[in-house]
Amino acid sequence: MRPSPLWFETTYRCPSCGAPLVYIEKGGAAVLKCQACGGSVWTELREAGRFVVGGRLEWRRFMEFLYAAYAYRLAMKA
Ligand SMILES: [Zn+2]
């Protein structure tokens, strides 16, 4: 049985509209998404492996990586 998608609001804010960004894990992807303006960025979940040090995921660094990708993508669109 497939686990249901992981979903939670983060403390990061959308640089475009200021709404809280939502983190979603689904189908092998990690997604950071703004539900207000529809902006999103995703990466393969195995990318998180780059942030594992000594068997532990450095979760904050992984989130910062995703958030930086989100902000970058937004800047490219503008
Ligand atoms: Zn937004």
For residue range 53-73, list pLDDT tens digits in order.
999 999 999 999 999 999 999
Cα 13 to averaged position of ligand 1 atoms, centre (Å): 8
Of 11 and 4, which is predicted with more confidence?
11
Cα 1 to averaged position of ligand 1 atoms, centre (Å): 33
pLDDT at 1 exceeding the cut of 60: no
Domains, the chain, in order of start with CATH, read 6-71 (2.20.25)
pLDDT at 2: 61
pLDDT band at 4 (very low <50, low <70, confident <90, very high): confident
Please enumerate, as own/partner, the contacts of 11-16 that have beta carbons within 8 Å and a separation of 24 or more: 12/63, 12/67, 12/70, 14/39, 14/70, 15/70, 15/71, 15/74, 16/74
pLDDT at 5 exceeding the cut of 90: no
